[in-house]
Chains A and B, each alone.
Chain A
Amino acid sequence: DAGVIQSPRHEVTEMGQEVTLRCKPISGHNSLFWYRQTMMRGLELLIYFNNNVPIDDSGMPEDRFSAKMPNASFSTLKIQPSEPRDSAVYFCASSPGTGSYGYTFGSGTRLTVV
């Protein structure tokens, strides 16, 4: 298994542009999470999907952020319009379910908004 695959690894964009981050979870995992990591705030949970359905998006910072999971093997996190304060590393993680399961994290997307 290739693990959780995220793309791109690095993204540099100008303020105001739309950014789309992509994630392919591990096959058979029915829970998917998007996290954001910054030095100031650490790891923050943005949104959680279970069986492709968004369960909790209370961590999404504002309406500029949106996430979708059209099928069990693909999820996107979109920022439109992007702002410099969105610069961070965005991680996708999946697990076999909720509860007593460890998460498998992707390698992350390092986003820089200039």
Chain B
Amino acid sequence: SQQGEEDPQALSIQEGENATMNCSYKTSINNLQWYRQNSGRGLVHLILIRSNEREKHSGRLRVTLDTSKKSSSLLITASRAADTASYFCATGLSGTYKYIFGTGTRLKVLA
């Protein structure tokens, strides 16, 4: 089964609104990453948050991590049509090099 499960599976919002996606996982992690995938393209690394960090910002992106709840959230503020894509969390399993990708959230930003 997937280590990471994103919620919601799909999200549709208006341009300018904020988009929040959540990721839950099952086992201990070293860190967690978020990626974006545009249709028909490869994944693009957005941000990495370590297990001892609680919040991280990068431009319009804000990521939180709650290791006690085994969950993370990705907030995209002031969304744009160009943010339309699928977003994946990837959990770096403790004691390994492995990253396990979640099921993804399909975000659609309407102009």
A42 located at the interface, meaning its Cβ lies under 8 Å from any Cβ of chain B in the complex: yes
Which B residues are CB-close (under 8 A) to A31? 97
| Interface contact A105-B88, CB-CB below 8 Å | no
Q: Is the contact region of chain A dominated by helix, strand, or loop, or is it mixed?
A: strand
Stretch at the interface among B19-27, B37-45, B59-67, B70-78: B37-45
Number of A-B contacts (CB under 8 A): 54
What residue in chain A is nearest B98 (Cβ atoms)? A45
| Interface contact A107-B41, CB-CB below 8 Å | yes
Once the chains are docked, how many angstroms separate the CA of A42 from the CA of B72?
19
Q: Is the contact region of chain B dominated by helix, strand, or loop, or is it mixed?
A: strand
Which B residues are CB-close (under 8 A) to A102? 33, 45, 48
Within the complex, the shortest CB–CB distance from B33 to chain A, in Å, comes to 6
Query: A-contacting residues of B (Cβ < 8 Å)?
Result: 2, 30-31, 33, 35, 41-45, 48, 50, 88, 90, 92, 97-104
Q: List 6 A-B contacts (CB under 8 A).
A: A35-B101, A91-B43, A100-B50, A102-B45, A103-B99, A107-B42
